[in-house]
Amino acid sequence: MRAVKLRPPPRSPAPVAGETGWATRRHGVQRSGKDVPFPSVRATLEQCAPRRIIVALPTWVGDAVMATPTLRAVRERFPEAHIAFLVEANARPVIDSSGWMDEVLCWPPRERGRRRRRGMVRLAWQIRRREFAWAVLLPNSFRSALLMRMAGVKRRIGYDRDGRGLLLTDRLRVKRENGKIAVVPMVEYYGRIAAELGCAPPGDRLELFTEPHSDQFVHTRLESLGIADRHPLVVVNPGANYGSAKQWPAERFAAVGDRLLEHDGASVIITCGPGEEELARAVAKGMKRQAFVLDQPRGTLSQLKSLIKRCDLLLTNDTGPRHFAKAFARPVVTVFGPTLQKLTDTDYSLERKLQIEVDCGPCMLRECPLDHRCMTGVSVDMVYHDCRELLSKQNRDREGAEGTEPRP
């Protein structure tokens, strides 16, 4: 294969005095041995808005959902611009049907060595051909900054961290406390980038959209199980792609499921992601009453959105589908273990978060080297109590809505 030689990036615009808010001094290309600053993003906007923007989205599904307020704000701020999203292929269903982008590009598969380098070069060439004026980098990754530098995007905007500052033209400072990077909710973290672009404050309202074919698939499948019109419909999500440290024990999910079936008349659906089929089956096997496992076939991420959109309650670990419930305004009970709640906080009244304090946490580890005390300390009674509270509220709201309908 003939090697592709990329052209050097375009020269930076002439320097303009001034800085904005909390962003650091901008750095452009080297000229005569000196580091020439770019004009600030806001100063650029006063002269001419960019016509082509590429936005790199976070890698994890949950983080991509938490970026939706910022994605919405960027589209509202630049309604006439051609906006492309760069996403991992597995996270693409998060932004499907949103209407916030004109084009979607996907990262190449994660491979090693020469194949990985070739994939990066091909993607850089695709981006270069599209002549984007701005690259907005939501993730902190070095590779996203390197890619946009290889592609010659004139303005590369993101946080100055993880050793990638020299690859950016607009370096944004991260908040620090006692010399360390401060823990900031992700929606706020991304929202500050939107503010730097001149967007209105995006807030923390998560938003997702479903595909009609996925809605129909879920309805047909629930019909085949005889529960399409039954309430309450409870979705149990026992997995966590991050690692087993974030997983509440399967037998406890099973115990809560039995109580919901026995005392609340619920229909229980157990979902699973790639590689989590056995875990979902273990939950169903541990139950004394019938639950339904969506493993044959395992649903897609798009179908999972449609399922959560129509459920009455989601019971989950701290993982991506938890944010689906928030985006669709569905009640959710989340069991936390080794992770920091503050990182994923939003002002959402229909969520109940359960976490106990332990001397070793929150450790943020993927696998627990001890006895998993942060998870085993969360009891079945604690989880069921919060599930029943949210279901009771749902019932009251439903009865109230039915009571206000005009009688024939």
pLDDT tens digit string along 184-216?
999 999 999 999 999 999 999 999 999 999 999
Is residue 67 over pLDDT 70?
A: yes
Report residue 42's pLDDT band, with 50, 70 and 90 as the boundaries.
Answer: low
CA distance 111 to 315: 34
CA distance 171 to 160: 5
pLDDT of res. 46: 59
Residues whose CB is less than 8 angstroms from the CB of residue 211 and which lie 6 or more positions away in sequence, other chains included: 96, 97, 302, 306
Is residue 16 over pLDDT 50?
A: no
CA distance 215 to 197: 35
Dump pLDDT digits (tens) for 88-144: 999 999 999 999 999 999 999 988 888 889 999 999 999 999 999 999 999 999 999
Dump pLDDT digits (tens) for 233-247: 999 999 988 889 999
Residues whose CB is less than 8 angstroms from the CB of residue 353 and which lie 6 or more positions away in sequence, other chains included: 334, 336, 341
Report residue 49's pLDDT band, with 50, 70 and 90 as the boundaries.
Answer: confident
Neighbours of 107 (CB within 10 A): 20
**Average of per-residue pLDDT across 77-86:** 97
CA distance 111 to 92: 19
**More confident position, 357 or 16:** 357
Judged by DSSP in three states, 322 sits in helix
**Average of per-residue pLDDT across 65-86:** 97
Are the beta carbons of 234 and 388 closer than 8 angstroms?
no
pLDDT of res. 26: 43
Largest CA distance in the chain: 83
Is residue 28 over pLDDT 70?
A: no
- Closest by Cα among 87, 93, 121, 122 to 107: 87
**Average of per-residue pLDDT across 72-96:** 96
Radius of gyration of the chain (CA): 24
**Average of per-residue pLDDT across 350-379:** 94
Is residue 390 over pLDDT 80?
A: yes
CA angle 358–359–364, rounded 5-degree value: 75
CATH architecture of 212-404: 3-Layer(aba) Sandwich (3.40)
Are the beta carbons of 48 and 155 closer than 8 angstroms?
no
**Average of per-residue pLDDT across 147-153:** 97
**Average of per-residue pLDDT across 348-376:** 94
pLDDT of res. 313: 98
pLDDT of res. 41: 72
Nearest-10 Cα torsion for 74, 75, 76, 82: 120
Judged by DSSP in three states, 237 sits in strand
Is residue 15 over pLDDT 60?
A: no
Please count the residues of the chain. 408
Are the beta carbons of 56 and 137 closer than 8 angstroms?
yes
Amino acid type, 75: R
Q: b/e string for 379-395 if b means 16 or more Cβ within 10 A?
A: ebebbbebbbebbeebe
Q: Where in the chain is the domain with CATH 3.40.50.2000?
A: 30-196, 212-404
**Superfamily holding 30-196:** Glycogen Phosphorylase B; (3.40.50.2000)
Determine the distance from the C-alpha atom of residue 312 to the mean position of all C-alpha atoms in its chain, rounded to a whole number. 22
pLDDT of res. 71: 98
* 105 HSE (CA, 13 A, CB side): 24
pLDDT of res. 38: 56
**More confident position, 263 or 14:** 263
- Closest by Cα among 284, 298, 387 to 335: 387
Are the beta carbons of 160 and 174 closer than 8 angstroms?
yes
**More confident position, 320 or 12:** 320
Report residue 220's pLDDT band, with 50, 70 and 90 as the boundaries.
Answer: very high
Q: Looking at 161-317, list the stretches that DSSP marks H as alpha helix, in order from N- to C-terminal side.
A: 186-196, 212-225, 250-264, 277-285, 301-310
pLDDT of res. 43: 65
